[in-house]
Amino acid sequence: MGKILVIEDEGAIRANIEEILMLSNYDPIVAPDGLRGLQLAEQTQPDLILCDVMMPELDGHGVLQSLRQKDATAGIPFIFLTAKADRRDLRQGMEAGADDYLTKPFTADELLRAVSTQLTKQAISEDQTQSRIGQFRDAIKHALPHELNTPLNGILCSTDLLLNDRDELEDSEIVELLEFIRTSAKRLHHLTQNALLYLDLELQSRTGTLPIRNSSEVCRVDEIVQYSAQEVARRWNRTPDLHIALQKCEIGISVQYMEKIAIELIDNAFKFSEQSQPVQVIGHVKNDRYYLEVIDQGRGMNTQQVKALGAYVQFERSTYEQQGIGLGLIIAKRLIEWFGGQLILISQLGLGTHLTVHLPLSGAVPTIAS
């Protein structure tokens, strides 16, 4: 029924638990101490761990901490077996990531109920994760082919011209086609990387392994946003349309994630607007937050498109083909929320879109750009 690792240094108790589990058709694995228990946890990948708190060399808290630090064992349900009824001791274990505890002495029924509860919870969680993965796989299967068609068609058409009409093409025309192929290939790379990143982020959110927020990690948000905005504008050949006004400031987010957020928000503004329509990028400090605004005067989004930012699985092929929204904004929204911020989107068809992001400051005192 389930593979259960029992880590207990008292032989009589260990043997008793093992017998109870075997009689209930579980598959028990036993370890006499914490160090051996860690080895068996990695080797056997049990469905549940029962672990004594007070043990020599490595106690139960040390076992739990080591398990939670490794990807292979971080998600295994964990029940403390403790002879101590002290609330502080129990709270310490629960705060460290234990799923439940049993106070010795406990009955066979109490043990089996605790085991059954944790295994049921784990099974439900795994079913939900598999369902979510299946939904995402179906959404990708229906939505990505359409999104990929534009750059793929550009590459195929351009290479056909080069192969079939190469003797009739001028050098300048060949260069133009090669540049178009490179642009299309970069777009294709961007789309596939976003799809992989979104899948990775979704899996991390389901398993609780979100991006680590290092309190000492900060970035100059104005520098990153300015560089990202200029790069996106150049990619769209619309540098004159970009208008930037950023207040200097440091915020508590990594350079990698801030750059990704900025690129996707600004790319969306150029995507939904036309040549000569301005795109404004404004950053300022208010209270303990940094506000980043990206404003365009393009075609805007309808209500369905705005709602679709909630989850990619809401896209259906028929609506997706009309909307033309990719994963960029959804990825940005996920990252913003994970780092304690919020994304607010106001959009009207024919009038444009106003994106506002606010993120917590790093604690540094912001300065005003001259």
Indicate if the pLDDT at residue 27 is higher than 90. Answer: yes
- In angstroms, rounded to a whole number, what is the distance separating the alpha carbons of residues 190 and 187? 5
Indicate if the pLDDT at residue 226 is higher than 90. Answer: yes
Average pLDDT over residues 213-233: 86
Average pLDDT over residues 240-267: 93
Kindly report the CA angle at 339 between 336 and 340, in degrees rounded to 5? 90
Indicate if the pLDDT at residue 210 is higher than 50. Answer: yes
Assess contact for 304 and 297: CB atoms under 8 A: no
Left if phi > 0, otherwise alpha if psi is -120 to 50, otherwise beta: which for 293? Answer: beta
Architecture per CATH, domain 3-106, reads as 3-Layer(aba) Sandwich (3.40)
Computed over every residue of the chain, the mean pLDDT equals 83
Question: Is the four-CA dihedral 359, 362, 366, 370 of positive or negative sign?
Answer: negative
Q: What is the CATH number of domain 219-360?
A: 3.30.565.10
Give the least confident one: 143-152, 174-183, 250-259: 143-152
Indicate if the pLDDT at residue 362 is higher than 90. Answer: no
**Confidence (pLDDT) at 84:** 65
Bridge partners (DSSP) listed for residue 279: 242, 296
**Residue listed under structure tokens 């879109």:** 353
**Confidence (pLDDT) at 330:** 83
Q: Model confidence at 364, in pLDDT bands (50, 70, 90)?
A: very low
**Residue listed under structure tokens 């540049």:** 179
* pLDDT digits 0-9 by tens, 280-315: 999 999 988 999 999 999 988 777 767 666 543 333
What is the full DSSP assignment across 156-189? HHHHHHHHHSTTTS-HHHHHHHHHHHHHHHHHHH
Q: Model pTM?
A: 0.55
**Confidence (pLDDT) at 320:** 36
Give the least confident one: 108-112, 198-202, 237-241: 198-202
Radius of gyration (Cα) for the chain, nearest Å? 27
SS3 content of the chain, % helix, strand, coil (to 5): 55, 20, 30
Higher pLDDT, 283 or 145: 283
Q: Model confidence at 325, in pLDDT bands (50, 70, 90)?
A: very low
Assess contact for 281 and 250: CB atoms under 8 A: no
Q: For the chain, what's the residue count?
A: 370
Paired sense of beta strands 219-220 and 250-251, if any: antiparallel
**Confidence (pLDDT) at 136:** 65
Average pLDDT over residues 207-222: 67
Q: Model confidence at 203, in pLDDT bands (50, 70, 90)?
A: low
Q: Model confidence at 264, in pLDDT bands (50, 70, 90)?
A: very high
Q: Model confidence at 150, in pLDDT bands (50, 70, 90)?
A: confident
* pLDDT digits 0-9 by tens, 97-115: 788 889 888 999 999 999 9
Average pLDDT over residues 32-55: 94
Q: Which of 64-68, 198-202, 226-230, 356-360 has the highest mean pLDDT?
A: 226-230
Query: CATH fold of 136-207, please?
Result: Helix Hairpins (1.10.287)
Q: Model confidence at 186, in pLDDT bands (50, 70, 90)?
A: confident
CA-based nearest residue to 182, from 156, 155, 163 = 155
- In angstroms, rounded to a whole number, what is the distance separating the alpha carbons of residues 46 and 70? 14
Average pLDDT over residues 315-327: 42
Give the least confident one: 54-63, 86-95, 249-258: 86-95
Return the domain boundaries, the chain. 3-106, 136-207, 219-360
